[in-house]
Chain A
Amino acid sequence: MRHLVNLEFRRNFSVWLAVVAVFCLSFPAAALFSRYSHSGAGVLHATAVFWVVAGVLVAQACFGLTAGAGARAEENTAAEDILPVSPWKRSFSGLLVSLAYGMTFAALVFSGYRLAGGHASAEIASSWTRVMPVLSAYIVVLAYSCAYFFGSVPLGLLAMIPPIIITAAGMAAGTAALFMWQADPFSLSASLWCFALVSAAGFPYLLSIRAGNIVLSPRGALLRNTFAGLLLLAGPAVLLALSLLRVHAGANAFRPFIRYSHELGISEVPGAGSGYVFMTSIRGALAAVGENGEIRRLLEPAPWSVRSFSAVLGNAVEDLVALPGGGLLVLQTVYSGGREQEHRIWKFDSGWRRELLSSFRGRIPVRAFLYRDGEILLFNHSRELVAEIPAPGSEPQWKKFDSGMMADFLWKAGEIALHEGRRNLSYFFGGKKRSLTLPSAPCFQGKRKYAERIAGSNPPVFRVRLSGDNNVCGRFYNVMANEGGKAEIRPAADHMLSAATASPSYGEMVNWRTDSIEFIGSDGKLSPRLETLPPQVIALTEKMSIRRTFRFPLIKSGGLEYNTVYSADNFVLMKYSDGVAEALLNRVFLVSFRVSDGALLKWARLPLVHPSGGRFVFIVIPGRAGAFIHWGPRLYFVTWEGGVRQVDDWSGWYFMDKIRNPFRGTYEYSHKA
């Protein structure tokens, strides 16, 4: 068998090597291309998504090639016929080799995807793991059946009809599900996609038929083996039919081609101070959930719209801004079909009454805004902004992004001014304008900058990011102003994946270089540096049989999402005030300890339900009397005293939509930060 496996490896090595080489070269090429793109990250992300999509098809085709003996030219077949091994051993060695190749390729694809980042990776990965085994098993068994059971082309063709129909129906169902609400389902790109899919699926069949004709001819016995072959086909065919023929499941099967903008998220609005969190659903619904359990529906959900295979976009709440003195501004995108989207700006007062401030249509996604004193800045994906809210129905006058304008607006907003091309950072503190100069950085001359004042910090604490034209090269600074108006600058990282930041929610700052953590108080002061949890807390974890270690920091990063840096999963700071840290251990143990001497002040085990199965979001959002904890399908409110109230539970249902979750009852959320 070893010799046969070697033979198989050598036989198809060049094909696989070519695929892998193209794959490996595509990322440097994409990185190069990204330098000339508006969205460098987008190019890498698109490349990664393409390879995930293409990976499925390539793997299918290669399974057909290798396992189905399709690559066996007649010469090779004749060369092996006279060897003293059975066709079954030959086919089994082909199977082993194709699996090895397939797994290697899949590993490469996902490694590449992970390296390239992309917040949808988890969804795509899970879709891959769901779809690929079924499809692969189907293709492999099909190929084998053809190669070793059906010895004639006519019979092979006959046997191919049911699976082809099944696959075509599944594809049609999936495609219909995807394009059901699209105004232009027969666009060129959609047609090409469908054609590519059908072709890719048909390719292994054709190979198999050819392989069947070549390989099987030496030992016919067609009728005897046809029945066995059909039996072999039946299993995966039924599986695939069950999976694909349901419309929703069909869409699910196509999830590798889909990047969800967001599904269900919780949006915290810094400074709202209203004791609410704002929740959005995939269908664009918005609700305010109060600490007392009150749920206010602010925007109703709408049916999904599908934009393309690369983006499923329903109505979306793009951004929220809290108004001084209460109330909320909401930027909503309404997908009514076609290429243009409608953008609406809603204003909610403190009594949650809403008013439509603006409504306009456009092809370029509008994603965020800044607001101050009746002035508003809207940003779109083309690096354009508009400074005045257009009246409902009128077109906004987009202007190319002007850094001076941006800085000016930020200045007026009392936040921070970070000047284009310079290292000056200006801010207000104590009624006076302060400024400081950031350290030089290789990417400093780049165009993209980001500065944010951490909510509630006084003296102000800023998170500053400088980067080049793409998101790959970037620098982060944590800038803390003190009462004297001088700032302390902490370079967080030289690399985006290791970027440390001060989270506005948790107020912790991870120093990945020193493996330590510091907490930031609302007064802007840093706690003493902690390299690990205090001994009393560790003793508690041992007592409670918490097996995870609590070494700081265990950083998770969302790849290109530069601002998603967390400390360890099992440690979440909820509040740091007056030298006392309130934190969650293992998500369910609420502990309070004094940082200076490590004294454990109190602890409680919260009665939170661990979601079963799937990959769940876990978000802590500090409020007034406690903190919201969004864990899987449930939302809790935990008071600082350790009391727990379940605010909502949408297990089995989409939040507010009350639509049966089509995705087999699983929940995959992505947090819209």
Chain B
Amino acid sequence: MRNANEGMLISFEGVKRAFGKKQVLRGVTGSVSRGRVVGLIGRNGEGKTTLLKIALDLLAADEGRVSVCGRAPDGSGEIRQLAGYVPERPAFHGFMTFAEELKLRSGLFKNWDAAAAAECASRLGVDLNMRVADANKGALAKLAWVCATSHRAELLLLDEPTSGLDALVREQVLGELIGRLQDEGKSVLIANHHAEEMGAILDEVWVLAGGAIAGVYDAEHLRRGTRMVKGRRGKGSLPSGVKAVHVMEDGALAVCAALDEESARLVVESGALENAEVTPMDFSGAMKLLLRMHGE
């Protein structure tokens, strides 16, 4: 009998983790298959970073099973040979230069590709002679990208990867770099607040809410199928079970967001909005819709 998670680059089964009395993860279950780019969204404090650190073997789960590239986290750090990681706040040794940081990694990562590192650094415009202590936030973020993508990892775990990058580089990183990784068949799990940036590259979106994966959505559907319903406040209310939420009420004006056309139709028919107008919604709005849907 084949394991249900076989072929998955990363899988979580009932993962729980608490910090003191605060239960952050209450049973996360989900998996990412090869070549997929998954966005992980959730409100602040929901445990996105915790989940990524558990996957990277930086934190131990209290309960549940984790598998990354076929390995279970064991504290040895071997998983980090297989997965690249861009942390939210990249940290390096202040007494080193960028080149020395790469050299250190070349000795520690079995599959370190110095040529790829050089090429990536060049592409991002990283000055390898710069000292870490003198580097600005953007330069550190770029270096983190170089480090994460130069050891031929099959899986990339990105925690707010564009934090600190200027708009041009952000576009370059997300549009080009991740696209290339995707083309190479690598899997990516991205936790990012700036969802609008990810719209074009995601295959799937996970919503982390209440300490668990509250919903998994196809990114293509989110890009094309979400609708916004605008109108005057009506006497009716949103029917139960409909995949839509009020996103704004301003006096007599009300706006609802619906996950798909059917939900938008039900909103219109419910009488919750009068003279309703249905329009397509952008990806950023769709992300907000998901957060509101699962946050309430």
Contact = CB atoms under 8 A, between A and B. Distances in A.
Interface of A: 2-4, 7, 10-11, 74-76, 78-79, 81-87, 89, 218-221
B72 to A, nearest CB: 14
A76 B80 contact: no
Given A85-B77, A219-B59, A79 B95 contact: no
16 contacts: A3-B104, A10-B95, A11-B93, A75-B91, A75-B93, A75-B94, A76-B91, A78-B89, A79-B91, A82-B85, A83-B80, A85-B108, A218-B58, A218-B59, A219-B58, A220-B59
Contacts of B76: 86
B81 interface: yes
B78 interface: yes
B294 interface: no
B56 interface: yes
B107 interface: yes
A78 B87 contact: yes
B87 A82 contact: yes
Interface of B: 53, 56, 58-60, 75-81, 85, 87, 89, 91-96, 104-105, 107-109, 147
- Summarize A's interface: helix, strand, loop or mixed: helix
A79 B77 contact: no
A82 B56 CA distance: 8
Given A75-B93, A218-B53, 15 more contacts: A3-B104, A3-B107, A7-B93, A7-B104, A11-B93, A74-B91, A75-B91, A76-B93, A76-B94, A79-B91, A82-B85, A83-B77, A84-B77, A84-B79, A86-B77
A89 B77 CA distance: 10
Contacts of B105: 83
Contacts of B81: 84
B91 to A, nearest CB: 4
Nearest to A221: B60
Contacts, number: 62
A218 B76 CA distance: 13
Nearest to B101: A79
A3 B85 contact: no
Contact of B108 (A75, A79, A84): A84
Contacts of B92: 75, 79
Nearest to A3: B107
Contacts of A218: 53, 58-59
A42 B89 CA distance: 56
Contacts of A79: 91-93
Contacts of A221: 60
Nearest to A13: B95
Contact of A3 (B56, B60, B75, B108): B108
Nearest to B57: A219
B78 A84 contact: yes
B18 to A, nearest CB: 10
Nearest to B59: A218
What are the 4 tightest A-B residue pairs by CB atom distance, in nearest-first order?
A: A78-B91, A3-B107, A84-B80, A84-B81
Contacts of B109: 84
Nearest to B20: A152
A7 to B, nearest CB: 7
B2 to A, nearest CB: 29
Nearest to B18: A220
B89 A219 contact: no
Nearest to B96: A10
A219 B77 CA distance: 12
